[in-house]
Chain A
C-alpha cells in the first residue's frame, strides 16, 4: 500500500482567507487526485494532478478557487481560496499505484470555515 500524509489534519479558518493543504506520498506516483467530502455526503472528485502539467478539474470546480500544484512525483498541494462556510468539508488526496491498480487515500484534512 501507499503511505500518504496530509497537512494540516484539521483547521478552522475565517471567511475570505485561503488555506493550502499538503499531500506527501512515500513513493513516486504518476497521478494524484483531490476529493472533497461535504458533511454527511460522499466523496466528490475536485481534480486530477499529473506531474509537470496543469491539473484537470471536474465540472463545478475551477482553478481560481482550487489551485493545485504538483512539483514532483511525491508531493501536491491544494489551495482553497477565498473561503466561505460552504467550503467546510474534508479534503482528501488520493494516489494510484500502478503495481496495485488500487487507489489509496490520505487521512484527510478537516476544514471548518467560520
Chain B
C-alpha cells in the first residue's frame, strides 16, 4: 500500500507557483521522498527526490519538514504543460529490488 496521502486535485494559474503537498507520517529513517508525474497517456516521469534537506533541480523544488512527516513539491512557474498527475512516493534508496508503489496522486490542472 502507498504510504503517502495527497489531495486528489488542485488548480494553479499559469505563471504562478504550484505547491503540491504530501503527507508521509509513517516514513522511516532510511526512506526517501520521491516525486513523479504522469502527463496524459505517457509513462511516469521522475521529478525529484530528497531525504531530509530541501532539494532543487531544473524542474522543481522539494521542501521536507523537519520531522519528515510531510513535504511540498513546488513548481515555481507553472505552465500548461505541467498539467499532469503528480505522485509522491516514499521508498528506500539503493533498493533496486523494490519497485515504486503508486498512490492515487494529485491531478494538477494549470489554467491559462
Residues of A within 8 A of B (CB): 1, 4, 30-31, 33, 42-45, 48, 90, 92, 94, 96, 98, 101-108, 110
- 9 cross-chain pairs, A with B, having the tightest CB-CB distances, nearest first: A105-B43, A43-B102, A33-B99, A42-B102, A96-B96, A105-B44, A102-B46, A101-B93, A42-B104
Number of A-B contacts (CB under 8 A): 51
Q: A31 to B43, Cβ gap below 8 A?
A: no
CB contacts (< 8 Å) of A30 on chain B: these are 96
Mind listing 30 A-B residue pairs with CB under 8 Å? Answer: A4-B43, A31-B96, A31-B97, A31-B99, A42-B85, A42-B87, A42-B102, A42-B105, A43-B44, A43-B100, A43-B102, A44-B102, A45-B99, A45-B101, A48-B97, A48-B99, A92-B44, A96-B96, A101-B93, A101-B94, A101-B96, A102-B46, A103-B99, A103-B100, A104-B46, A105-B44, A107-B42, A108-B42, A108-B43, A110-B41
Q: Does B103 contact A (CB under 8 A)?
A: yes
- Choose from A44, A45, A98, A108 the contact partner of B96 (Cβ within 8 Å): A98
CA distance A101 to B97 in the complex (A): 10
CB contacts (< 8 Å) of B65 on chain A: these are none
CB contacts (< 8 Å) of B26 on chain A: these are none
CB contacts (< 8 Å) of A104 on chain B: these are 46
- Choose from A42, A96, A98, A107 the contact partner of B43 (Cβ within 8 Å): A107
CB contacts (< 8 Å) of B105 on chain A: these are 42
Report the minimum CB–CB distance from B48 to chain A (whole Å).
Answer: 10
